[in-house]
Chains A and B, each alone.
Chain A
Amino acid sequence: MSESLIPAETLERVGEVLSGPVTTVIDRREAQRYAYAVGDENPIYFDEVAAHEAGYRTLVAPPTYVTHAVVQPRTAADLRTDGLYREGTRIRLRVDRVMFGGEEWDFLEPVCVGDEITATVRLAAVDQKEGRKGPFVRQVRETTFVNQFGDEVARSRMIGIAR
């Protein structure tokens, strides 16, 4: 086993809330703008009758839209040179590069237009693994999305690979 890429202080942060809770109302125009940008013109996103016939309370938002809906407005002064916003909470690792490894989603209840969604991001896991190209760190940020009825509607785990 090579030297640890994960400082002890980072291991202690597993389970910690990294951002949120933030609450947002699912807006019809924004959800539909998103569906059009994807090119997903499913009638349940656009036609209330179709949504009712399919068993929904009202218009539905596309499955992964909820994660974009909760992005908070930020000043352009907070942009780094790569165009991403500076993060308030940084996870310290002894690595050069963090890449997106993938995502895992659980869809538990529908997210409908008008729903009030509260998102909380936690550091779910930080593990060192041995890969073909040497050691790397697998970091999981889990976001839980809860609606106005107190139901958890979705869970996303964003997997970062750092080496």
Chain B
Amino acid sequence: MSTDTATGAETTTAAPDLQTLNAGQELPTMHKFPDEAQLFLYSAASHNPHRIHYDRDYARFEGHDDIIVHGPLQGAWLTQFVTDWAGPDARLLGVTWQNRASGLPGEELVFSGTVTSVDRETGVVELEIAEHTSDGRLLMPATATVRLPTA
């Protein structure tokens, strides 16, 4: 289940079927709209006192345009993007991401992905995924490996 925060509509999509899934297939996009409150809550919940996530003057002093979205929060969204798509019976085996740039509060962040390989015997599926701003700035190129149920 995933919530499209752009429309507020809750869409329940069936988990991918290993037998019909193919390389090249695209995942439905996920959208996030971080605001100051979310950055504050994430700093608190992840025990992260780094000033660039809550002190606008300090963030600008360090050369950022504004306070910035945490790298690990963007990473957690990448894992959510995959687990929402794969469904509760799948197992996330790995994820990698590169910090190219950070999102800012008030920006729309878009998560997209493509299946790069499918092993129907083991259920292991490789994905190339990414986080961009809605105007196309690449924040995080990433990969993920997930095992779908084989039966």
Contacts and interface: CB of A to CB of B under 8 A. Distances in A.
Contacts of A102: 96-99, 140
A100 interface: yes
Residue among B45, B58, B77, B98 facing the most chain A CB atoms (10 A cut-off): B45
A40 B97 contact: no
Interface in A47-80: 50, 53-55, 62-64, 67-68, 71, 79
A38 B88 contact: no
A59 to B, nearest CB: 12
Nearest to A31: B45
Given A82-B50, A103-B97, A33 B45 contact: yes
Given A64-B72, A100-B71, A107 B49 contact: no
Interface residues of B, number: 39
Given A37-B38, A37-B45, A68-B46, A63 B92 contact: yes
Nearest to A72: B47
Interface in B89-142: 89, 91-99, 140
Contact of A38 (B47, B49, B77, B91): B77
Given A63-B83, A83-B55, A107 B92 contact: yes
Interface in B18-65: 32, 38, 41-42, 44-52, 55, 58, 62
Given A40-B80, A42-B80, A105 B94 contact: yes
Contacts of B1: 43
Query: Is chain A's binding surface mostly helix, strand, loop or mixed?
Result: mixed
Contacts of B62: 82
Contacts of B97: 102-103
A88 interface: no
Nearest to B94: A106
A152 B91 CA distance: 16
12 contacts: A34-B45, A39-B38, A43-B88, A44-B88, A63-B83, A64-B75, A64-B76, A81-B51, A83-B55, A105-B96, A106-B93, A107-B93
Interface of A: 30, 33-34, 36-40, 42-44, 50, 53-55, 62-64, 67-68, 71, 79, 81-85, 99-107, 110
